[in-house]
Amino acid sequence: MYSDETARLGMLARATTALEDLSETLAPLAARFGEQGHALYLVGGSVRDALLGKLSHDLDFTTSARPEVTRAILDDYADVVWDTGIDFGTLSAEKHGQQIEITTFRSDTYDGSSRNPEVQFGSNLEGDLVRRDFTVNAMAVEILGDGTLEFHDPLNGLDALLAGELDTPALPSQSFHDDPLRMLRAARFVSQLGFSVAPRVREAMADMATEIDRITAERIQVELDKLIGGEAPWDGFDLLVTTGLADRILPELSGIQMEADEHMQHKDVYAHSMTVLRQAMEQEEDGPDLVLRWAALLHDVGKPATRSFDSGRVSFHHHEVVGAKLVRKRFRTLKYSKQMTSDVSQLVFLHMRFYGYGEDAWTDSAVRRYVADAGELLPRLHKLVRADCTTRNKRKSERLRRAYDGLEERIAELAEKEDLARVRPDLDGNAIMSLLGLKPGPEVGRAWAYLKELRLERGPLTPEEAEQALLAWWKEQ
Please indicate, yes or no, whether residues 57 and 175 belong to a single structural domain of this protein.
no
338 and 418 fall within a common domain:
yes
**Is residue 420 predicted with pLDDT exceeding 80?**
no
Residues 6 or more apart whose CB falls under 8 angstroms from that of 176 comprise: 168, 182, 183, 204, 205, 208, 211
- pLDDT for the residue 1: 47
For residue 413, being part of any structural domain is answered with yes
User: Rounded to the nearest 10 degrees, what angle do helices 199-207 and 181-193 cross at?
Assistant: 140
> Is the predicted pLDDT of residue 358 greater than 60, yes or no?
no
Domain extent at residue 61? 5-163
Predicted confidence at residue 424, as pLDDT, reads 65
Q: Is 79 in the same domain as 170?
A: no
Mean pLDDT of 131-157: 94
- Check pLDDT > 70 for residue 405: yes
Expressed in angstroms, the distance from the first to the final Cα of the chain is 72
Residues 73 and 145 grouped into a single domain: yes
Indicate the residue among 376, 403, 422 that finishes a domain.
422
Residues 41 and 58 in one domain: yes
Domain co-membership, 358 together with 392:
yes
241, part of any domain: yes
CA dist 372 and 398 (Å) reads 27
Q: Which long-range contacts (CB under 8 A, 24 or more apart) does 29-34 make?
A: 29/73, 29/77, 29/95, 29/100, 29/143, 30/143, 30/144, 30/145, 31/145, 31/146, 32/73, 32/76, 32/77, 33/63, 33/65, 33/73, 34/144, 34/145
Q: Are residues 414 and 461 in the same domain?
A: no
Residue 281 domain-assigned (yes or no): no
Per the structure, the count of domains in the chain is 4
Whether 362 maps to a domain, the answer reads yes
pLDDT in tens, 104-127: 998 766 555 655 666 678 889 999
- What does the pLDDT look like over 8-58, one tens digit per residue? 999 999 999 999 999 999 999 999 999 999 999 999 999 999 999 999 889
The Cα–Cα gap between 64 and 89 comes to 11
- For 86-120, give one letter per residue: b (16+ CB within 10 A) or e: eebbbbbbebeebebbbbbbbebeeeeeebebeee
Three-class SS state of 314: strand
Task: Tell me the average pLDDT across 5-9.
Answer: 89
- What CATH code is carried by the domain that includes residue 30? 3.30.460.10
What is the average pLDDT across 90-110?
87
Q: Is residue 292 predicted with pLDDT exceeding 90?
A: yes
Residue 265: is its pLDDT beyond 50? no
Q: Which of 235, 146, 129 is nearest to 186 (CA)?
A: 235
212 and 122, same structural domain? no
Residue 218 CB: number of other CB atoms within 10 A?
Answer: 10
Are 400 and 431 in contact, with CB atoms under 8 Å apart? no
312/218 same-domain check: no
What is the residue-averaged pLDDT of the chain? 88
Predicted pLDDT of residue 64: 94
Residue 264, domain member (yes or no):
no
Query: How far does CA 186 lie from the centroid of its chain?
Result: 15
Q: What is the pLDDT of residue 135?
A: 97
Percentages helix, strand, coil for the chain (3-state, rounded to 5) are 60, 10, 30
Nearest-CA neighbor of 55 among 45, 40, 64, 65? 45
Q: Are residues 32 and 126 in the same domain?
A: yes
Residues in the chain: 477
Of 25-34, 89-98, 314-323, 431-440, the least confident: 431-440
Tell me the range of 1-15, 103-117, 328-342 where mean pLDDT is highest: 328-342
Asked whether the predicted pLDDT for residue 462 surpasses 80, the reply is no
The answer to whether residue 286 is domain-embedded is: no
Pick the more confident residue, 128 or 457: 128
Residue 280 lies in a domain: no
In a domain, 254, yes or no: no
Whether 99 contacts 78, CB under 8 Å: no
Do 98 and 201 have their domain in common? no
pLDDT, tens digit, 9 for 90 and up, residues 185-229: 999 999 999 999 999 999 999 999 999 999 999 999 999 999 999
The angle subtended at Cα 22 by Cα 20 and Cα 24, nearest 5°, is 100
| Domain end point (choices 133, 163, 193) | 163
Q: Are residues 243 and 118 in the same domain?
A: no
Report the CATH number at residue 203: 1.10.110.30
pLDDT greater than 90 at residue 472: no
The pTM (predicted TM-score) of the whole model is 0.84
CB–CB of 153/24 below 8 Å? no
